[in-house]
Amino acid sequence: MRRTALLVSAALLTSLLPLAVARAADDPPPVPVDRFEGEVPFANPPAGGIFPWGGDTDDPPTLRLSPRDDAPEGDQVLSGSYDISGYGGFTHDFAFAEPAHDWSAHQGVRFWWDGQDNGRKVAFELKDGGANGEASELWTTSFTDDFTGWKQIEIPFTDFAYRTDYQPVGGIDHVLGLTGIWGYAVTLPVGAPGRFAMDGVELYGRADQSLRASVLTDAAVYPVREGGTAHVKVTVATTGSAPIDEPVTVAYETTGGTASDTDHPPLKGEFTFPAGTASGTTRTIQVPTRRDKAAAETAETIPLRLTVTGAKAPAETPQVVIDAHGLPYLNDKLPVKKRVADLLSRMSLAEKTGQMTQAERGAVGTGADITTADLGSLLSGGGSTPTPNTPGAWARMIDSFQLRARATRFQIPLIYGVDAVHGHNNLVGATVMPHNIGIGATRDPRLAERTAAVTAAEVRATGIPWDFAPCLCVTRDERWGRSYESFGEDPALVESMETVIQGLQGARDGRDLKDDDKVLATAKHFVGDGGTAYGSSTTGTYTIDQGVTTVTRKQLEAIHLAPYKSAVDRGVGTVMPSYSSLDLVGDGLGPVKMHARADMINGVLKNRLGFGGFVISDWNGIDQIPGDYASDVRTSVNAGVDMVMAPYAYKDFHTALIEEVRAGRVSERRIDDAVSRILTQKFRLGLFEKPYADTSGASRIGSAGHRAVAREAVAESQVLLKNSGGLLPLKKSQKVYVAGSDADDIGNQSGGWTVTWQGSSGDITPGTTILEAMRENSSALTYSKDASAPTGGYDVGVVVVGETPYAEGVGDVGNGHDLQLSAADRAAVDKVCAAMKCAVLIVSGRPQLIGDQLGDIDALVASWLPGTEGEGVADVLYGRRAFTGRLPVTWPRSQAQLPINVGDPTYDPQFPYGWGLTTLTKVPEGGAATLRALETAARTAERAGAGDRGRALVEKARLIVQRKADRRMTAAVAAPFADADHLLLTGRYAEAVRKLTEAYRAA
């Protein structure tokens, strides 16, 4: 039966339904929504029907219609099973071709649920308003499965709250209108297998105006200077925006709070919105304050209690706040150290521990807990965005959270953080840079700094002052799902790219942090995350991420710790410990989680290296420490973690830390140290003076100028691995055949951490694909993704292949991923390269195994994950810019070689670290004699401290060697060639040329 027919015949069907609850005489009969007798199909949008969904392939529940003798309604029920690690559930979307349903005449929705008595919460959600079921507002509530057998769950519409953690398209009117319902969804519990059964979804009861009409205020907090007047706007709104049909009276009174009569005159009054008042009509209540004789005071609150008759009252009592004033910490002329000391001396233990607590934006809803728990920080996890996902919505959201902090005694501003790891990647329309692996391939520290400066400007323009970047990991195994977050396998290369810290923060002394285009940077993940051994991870199905790094102390210092020393020297503001464990050979401790390693965080980072910023934990990072939660809290804080990212457990953390301090297991001195470090960065960022978003730079987000920087970075990141017969650069006049899965996919070329945590294929954000950029440069181009189009008559083929997006351990090899091209990509390469001269571009976060096809490929390019500016790839393909990129990691011949890195005693890769051919119009000539002369000149430059000259001499020698070694790569060539690139980065120019000479002789 079609949905429209089902609803039209509701009265007839009602006579057949058992009534479990007696209804009032004037209530309308229940209206069936779903009987699960087969009248509604299993179907995905845009078709109407029931469908499962989930965070990954294992999360969607199984669904079926099952005959049940005990079915509460009819013969069948909707049943299923689930085992959800991320999120999952099912939805009934009403068909797009039909009008949305009008539920506004009813009191609520109810259904039968087969209880398992597991004590777990089940969320029930409505899709309200908007264009269709996938472009509507989400309103949610929940019930607890604490019963056995069938029970009718009755949910009045007044129980539903607007979802703040996720909305598909953004706020439409933030009113549960009920006149345009597109469906409902059930979110099932996570963390343990379960089963469910559901039956008889129906509407019940009669709505009255108190359910249809709401009184709202324009804010929850109204800060004013002492003596000023707050203006509280009170609005009446109705479902469907219809005028109210009965009067709505609002009585108001100032009562309670921390302010006294000397701070404000008592205020009491009443007004009425008469019947017929249009939805959206606003009245303003003015709340005056007084100047008292106190020269210095903390903030004082004046709650404005609203009593509403005839409509639903606001969810919370608005508060007028008289701003703190006259206190030393508010004086921006004083040194930061004095301001910190003054503020710290005034704070209670609860206020201090609140500063050490970071929550996820989705967990705090509208933000009331920011005030009650004195929260110091919020973050957006990957893909946690406001709706709509626009610069203005980000700024408004963060300002609304900052407003909550104004209601605390000392009005300490929040510090808000995001993972902007290759541009402001959470924001649709931002400039998405190449991932770090591509930036490392540029070997251009100045350009790296410019890309970070663009990122900082775009992040700060949305109101965010803190970036969880850069990752200073030294990737040592390409099976790691985070390989692309690293600048490369050589600590010297990682150190050279740390100019990004200045791009983000500005001057090393922090004086630029208050500027509207700078953000606080985070060096992560301390220390050794890139060295975890394959198979050592114990996190879910991960194979290497979050595993164990086993090294000698000398190896730790030389490989993994060196970049952090440079970061501290550069003034990095925060450091994030790694999820991984460190097993120092000979220390007798075995593997210890980095969040628990006091010897490394306190001992090395803070004491030995002199790090003066604060340490922020990773997402639930302390939870991986062995022991109960109290033990996790005290161990991590005593180890030196200053702020704990407890996204959804922030209340538990805050309570546990207070208890640990009171029990003497965490000292107040340790708390004061942590809070001092946090407050110092807040003062340096200028947040006390300017807590709200400065959006003056918002017009430059995704601008042509910013994209030009990204385009340059893309071009410089392209590494030409092979170029037989000088196939590249292409000519505009050539007839080109383009194929491959990644040629025309902005999502694939951007990779993980793009709009969402894992990223996704498809047209997910504005940008230019590689194919689109090639079309602009070619006079004759044909595209066939799978190479199914005829291949005859072309001058050259370009096959763009590679990976699909992933992030973190989800991308570990062995966790559903490998280093092989997909069967479709391999087939496209085989077909095109058999038919014509061909160039293959590999779009990936790490090397792909291409050895068995290399002989059939004329030109091979490592394109990495270039981001949104595909024009940069076309620039080098068509010769507008020369190929100059160099491998930031070793390109292996086979997976059996892994891990393989520069400096290994056995080193025989497909292409060595530092390899990168060029298409410069003039490649240096010469042989052994020229190399000897270059070594002498390099030694002179080295002694004179002439770095630019020394690097130019080594580069000339490298190009000479590559021209000879290009045809046959052996271990005897590869090892000294890779060593030379490391020596170049460490300033040993003469030794680098000597190693290149060794490679030349072996070639």
pLDDT given at position 176: 84
Going by C-alpha positions, the residue among 865, 859, 743, 731 that lies closest to residue 801 is 743
Distance between CA atoms of 231 and 224, rounded to whole angstroms? 9
Give residues with Cβ within 8 angstroms of 967, minimum separation 6: none
pLDDT given at position 171: 63
pLDDT given at position 712: 98
Angle ∠(517,326,294) on CA atoms, nearest 5: 155
Q: Which residues are catalytic?
A: 618, 808
Amino acid at 44: N
CA distances from residue 491 to 472, 500, 562, 906, 982 in whole angstroms, order as listed = 9, 15, 7, 19, 9
**What is the block-wise mean pLDDT of the chain (1003 residues), using blocks of 10 residues?**
30 34 66 94 89 87 96 96 91 84 92 96 94 86 96 93 76 79 95 95 86 89 98 90 91 97 96 96 98 95 97 94 98 98 98 98 92 97 88 95 98 98 97 98 98 98 98 98 98 98 98 98 98 97 97 98 98 98 97 98 98 98 97 98 97 98 98 98 98 97 98 98 97 98 98 96 97 97 98 98 97 96 97 98 98 95 98 98 98 97 98 97 90 97 97 97 92 98 98 98 96
pLDDT given at position 3: 29
Distance between CA atoms of 574 and 983, rounded to whole angstroms? 30
- Run of H or E residues at 956: helix 947-965
pLDDT given at position 388: 83
pLDDT given at position 571: 98
CB atoms within 10 A of CB 495: 23
Distance between CA atoms of 891 and 909, rounded to whole angstroms? 6
CA distances from residue 194 to 82, 113, 116, 191 in whole angstroms, order as listed = 5, 14, 9, 9
Distance between CA atoms of 475 and 902, rounded to whole angstroms? 12
Classify burial at 855, counting beta carbons within 10 Å of its beta carbon; exposed 0-12, middle 13-18, buried 19 or more: exposed
How is residue 330 written in tokens?
């508010």
pLDDT given at position 646: 97
What order do you get walking across the sheet with 592-593 strand by strand? 548-551, 581-584, 592-593
Contacts of 61-70 spanning 24+ positions with Cβ under 8 A: 61/88, 61/89, 61/90, 61/188, 61/196, 63/90, 65/36, 65/37, 65/38, 66/197, 68/197, 68/199, 70/150
pLDDT given at position 822: 97
Q: Are the beta carbons of 237 and 214 closer than 8 angstroms?
A: yes
Residue position matching structure tokens 């809070």: 675
pLDDT given at position 98: 77
pLDDT given at position 172: 72
